[in-house]
Amino acid sequence: MIDQRLKEFVRLHHIDLVRTVNYQKHKLKDIIYEKRLFNQLSSYHLAEVQHQAIDQITTIRKKQLKIFEDLTIFEQRILCHSLPKTFDDIPIVTYQNLFGNEANKIMQELKRRKLNDQLKNYELKLQDYEDLYQTEINIFESKLIQTSLNHQRIQADIFMTLLKCYLSHYTNRLIRQIRYKEACVHVKLVRKHHRHLLSKQQIVDVYPQIIV
């Protein structure tokens, strides 16, 4: 039994190590390419207000992806049966003495509604940031074209293509960072859930249960 657990530990550790090495390798490539794109953008002579607008756009995207990260971790908690105590881990015996099995059904339904409300809240915030992000890009592009002379229109189009490429790469890099963190959190939550199963405490959670 001990040898089997040791082999499993070594196997999981190897998987974690390979995941980390691959992530760090791709992260370095992403940063190098992103820096190259940024240097190309910097070769264009922009006004200070335009630099500020680009900073604002990247800040909006970063805030949106922070919400996405929170949602991703929250979804992992759902999958791994490791919800925060505000959603889960209410002792059954506290309510069974008063309401019996009916109390279980009521508590589950209330917690499921609360869970759905939380998920919808994340989705609404993500959409709000996406709308704001697209609006700011459109405003920036419109002002850039308006201030460009006729012979500069092609340069303005090239700049916008380059900017969108930079922003897309910036977004994808952060998403890959979030996915890596998600994988690490998943492993921790699964292990935590396995330890939790060894506990004798009875709880009512949001997951389906057979009630007779």
pTM listed for this prediction: 0.76
- The interaxial angle of helices 48-79 and 101-146, nearest 10 deg, is 160
Q: Which residue has the higher pLDDT, 88 or 76?
A: 76
Task: Reply yes or no on whether the pLDDT at 102 is more than 80.
Answer: no
Extract the tokens encoding 27. Answer: 């992260």
CA angle 4, 6, 8 (to 5 degrees): 70
Task: Reply yes or no on whether the pLDDT at 92 is more than 90.
Answer: no
